[in-house]
Structure formats: structure tokens, C-alpha cells
Amino acid sequence: MDVFTRIASGIYMRQPRRGEDHHRRPAEQHDHGARFVGIRLRDLSDEELYRKIAHANDRVAAAKTRYESLCQQRRALEEQARRLGKEMDSTERELNYWRVWRSDCLDEQKARERYQEEEERRRRREGRESFRRGW
């Protein structure tokens, strides 16, 4: 039995017991909006009791609708988060691929530059040697 059915069937109207405030944290002691002040059910007439029951049923139905709506929104957000997680993973894989590719390209560029520098040095060395031979 869920909490909404228990509230609707039991109509939890209660009066705070003595000393109850002493067991609450100081921040909760003066929160009058969140605290429910009960009504003595024995003092109500049948007509008032039925009206209170109908009002409680309406409030329970509204709370249940709101709760189900929030659950649905949470499921939608969880699905969206899962989809975004998958998209982030694929983007991260692509990012890593392109980083490795860029690193390989830079390594190739440096190797070519080194080769060209070595070729130029070799040509200069050969040119100097051939020039000296001519004398």
C-alpha cells in the first residue's frame, strides 16, 4: 500500500504531543508552515467529517498527480542524461582519435624537417669538399 492510499484511508490528522518540539532540530521548531496542526476528529459533525475526507482525498489526488509528474520528469531527465553520456563518450573517443592523428602528423612534420636539415648539411659538406678538391 503506497503512502497516498494510506493517507487517503487513514486521514492522518493529529495533534502534536507534548514535548515533541524538544526532539526536533532548532531550525524546525518554528517552521509553522510545514507543521500540520491536527483537528480532533471526535468533535466534528458527520457533515464536516465527510467534507474533510473529500478535501483530504482531493489533496491526496493532487499530491499523487504531482508526484507521478515529477517521477516522469525524473525518468525523462535520466534518459536525457544517459543519452548525453553516450554522446560525450563518442565525442571523447573522436577527440582522442584526432589528438593521436595530430600527434602523428606533427611527428611526421618534425621528421621531414630533420631530414631536410640533414640533407642541407650533407649538401653543404659535400659542396665544401668538392670545392676544396678543385684547388
Average pLDDT per run of 10 along the chain, which is 135 residues long?
Answer: 62 54 54 54 75 89 96 97 97 97 97 96 81 56
> Which residues does 60 contact at the CB level (< 8 Å), separation at least 6?
4, 7, 8
Q: What is the pLDDT of residue 16?
A: 54
Total Cβ atoms within 10 A of residue 48 = 12
**Whose CA is closest to 43, among 5, 13, 8?**
13
Q: Give me the pLDDT at residue 104, please.
A: 97
Q: What are the distances in angstroms from CA 27 to CA 20, 24, 31, 105?
A: 14, 8, 7, 63
Q: Is the overall model pTM greater than 0.95, yes or no?
A: no
What is the reported pLDDT for 126? 84
Instruction: Give the pLDDT score at 128.
Output: 72
Domain count of the fold of the chain: 1
pLDDT of res. 81: 97
Burial class (CB in 10 A: 0-12, 13-18, 19+), 64: middle
80-102 burial by CB neighbour count: b if 16+ within 10 A, else e? eeeeeeeeeeeeeeeeeeeeeee
pLDDT value, residue 78: 97
Domain range for 98 is 3-133
